[in-house]
Amino acid sequence: MWSLEVEQDRTPPVLHNHHELAREPLISHQVVIDLIAASTTRTGLSVQAGLDPSYYPTGVKISNQQLAELPVYPHNWHGQWNFTITPN
């Protein structure tokens, strides 16, 4: 079950430069990537962003067994949204 919890000592993810959206139309992928990459929090979190130009087909179905076999490793802090998927 997914839930959104914010601890008292953690700053929630906030787009501090949201005011730039009004000045800069989101006319390209690069504009969106630059806006995301410029995001920070009061505690100093920085973001790296880039465009993956690869083609990924939609509608691909996987079985429950295939999903269960994914090498997913939850992190100690909120493992339901913080996890690593290792390549096979």
What amino acid occupies position 7?
E
Flag whether 56 is in a domain. no
Confidence of residue 75 (pLDDT cuts 50, 70, 90): very high
* Domain region containing 25: 19-51+62-85
Flag whether 66 is in a domain. yes
Please determine, for residue 8, whether its predicted confidence score (pLDDT) is greater than 70: no
Distance CA 49, CA 58 (A): 22
Please determine, for residue 47, whether its predicted confidence score (pLDDT) is greater than 90: no
The residues, any chain, with a CB within 8 Å of residue 83's CB and separated by 6 or more, are: 72, 73, 74, 75
Confidence of residue 38 (pLDDT cuts 50, 70, 90): confident
Flag whether 69 is in a domain. yes
Structural contact between residues 20 and 35, judged by C-beta atoms closer than 8 angstroms: yes
Flag whether 78 is in a domain. yes
Mean pLDDT, the chain, whole residue set: 78
Give the chain's domain count. Answer: 1
Please determine, for residue 87, whether its predicted confidence score (pLDDT) is greater than 90: no
Distance CA 43, CA 41 (A): 5
Please determine, for residue 9, whether its predicted confidence score (pLDDT) is greater than 60: no
